[in-house]
Amino acid sequence: MDELEGRFRAANQEEEFFVGMIRIGVPDYPERAYREGVANALIHRDYARLGTVHVQWHDDRVQISSPGGLPEGVRLDNLLVTDPRPRNPRLADAFKRAGIVERTARGIDTIFREQLRGGRPAPSYDRSNETGVTLILPGGKANLDFVRLVVEEGRENGALNLQELLLLNHLWLERQTTSAEGAEVVQRTPAETRRHLGRLVEAGLVESRGRGKRQSYILASSTYRRLGLEAEYVRRRGFDPLQQEHLVLQYVNAHGRIARRHAAELCKIGPAQATRLLRRLVGKGTLAMHGQKRGTWYGPAED
């Protein structure tokens, strides 16, 4: 471990910036995540198999692999929630007594948390199979705006937990999510995930849209502003109903008619939402519907 950590520190560069008067260092790879990843590979490998632990530093990632599949009962979809199951308990205890790994035995949480706090994508075990476990720590340019957001939020409201970091990172990458999609990311039930998303909403970091099964979540306007992406929020938030109606009427005035697909493209909404919008205008007596099924179009209502 000393040799592996020494080689790591020699290659690991650090970028720095300031949040107020506080200096924040952002390394190529978080040392705690690397240490836990290497320790896990040594502790949990299958020593009955030939082979060795490999630590590889690539241009875009650090890759740590070890012989033997995941311990019994551990799968890719429950890594973050399953109870610790060391394949070599005495070796695991020795590493904890030596202070190399966390005594909580939740090193996997540390790997994910430190990677996300460093403004980089979540770690990946997707290359693992029944013969070996492979951990990928993505590298590349850190998202310093995300780091700043995490630091500022920690100072104001306390540190974000792992589930909140995972959901924020997911929203940053995908721009929108639901409790069902978020549940796959945090490996919790949709109900538990809604509670975590609810706390992010209460903190003003996330906004919810819709209700029930149609409820979805996007980053809040203040979050986009802190990340320097105000225009992206407008694109994600979309137009309110009155703006949508105004756009449709402007289109009809200019072209004489509008079809559902044109309304969907114009207002950046789905086909079903476009249908409801057009029928709402028909109900108000502003537009008239013509044709049937696929040939349906909408034009100005007759006086």
pLDDT at 156: 85
Question: pLDDT of 102-142, one tens digit each?
Answer: 766 678 999 999 999 999 999 999 999 999 999 999 998 99
- Calculate the CA 226 to chain-centre distance: 17
pLDDT at 281: 94
Helices of type H across 12-161: 31-44, 89-97, 107-117, 144-157
Residue pair 66/53 in contact by the 8 Å Cβ criterion:
yes
pLDDT at 239: 62
- Report all structural domains of the chain as residue ranges with CATH numbers, in order of start: 2-138 (3.30.565.60), 144-237 (1.10.10.10), 241-300 (1.10.10.10)
Sign, Cα dihedral of 240, 174, 195, 156: negative
Of 243, 219, 247, which Cα lies nearest the Cα of 233? Answer: 219
Which CA distances in Å does 257 have to 231, 262, 300? 30, 10, 7
* Separation of alpha carbons 45 and 134, rounded Å: 11
pLDDT at 237: 64
- Reading the block at residue 239, the tokens are 């137009």
pLDDT at 247: 87
Which CA distances in Å does 5 have to 9, 53, 100, 180? 6, 14, 11, 39
- Reading the block at residue 245, the tokens are 């109606």
**Residue 74 burial (C-beta neighbours within 10 Å; 0-12, 13-18, 19+):** buried
Long-range contacts of 267-274 (CB under 8 A, 24+ apart): 267/238, 267/239, 268/235, 268/238, 268/239, 269/238, 269/244
Q: Using the structure block, give the residue that is written with the tokens 């005495």.
A: 90
- Reading the block at residue 170, the tokens are 């997911």
pTM: 0.76
pLDDT tens string, the chain, 303 residues long: the values are 889 999 999 999 999 988 888 899 999 999 999 999 999 999 999 999 989 999 999 999 999 999 999 888 889 999 999 887 888 999 989 998 998 887 666 789 999 999 999 999 999 999 999 999 999 999 989 989 899 999 998 888 889 999 999 999 999 888 889 999 999 999 999 999 999 999 999 999 999 987 777 788 988 888 888 877 766 666 666 666 777 888 899 999 999 999 998 998 888 777 877 888 999 999 999 999 998 777 899 999 875
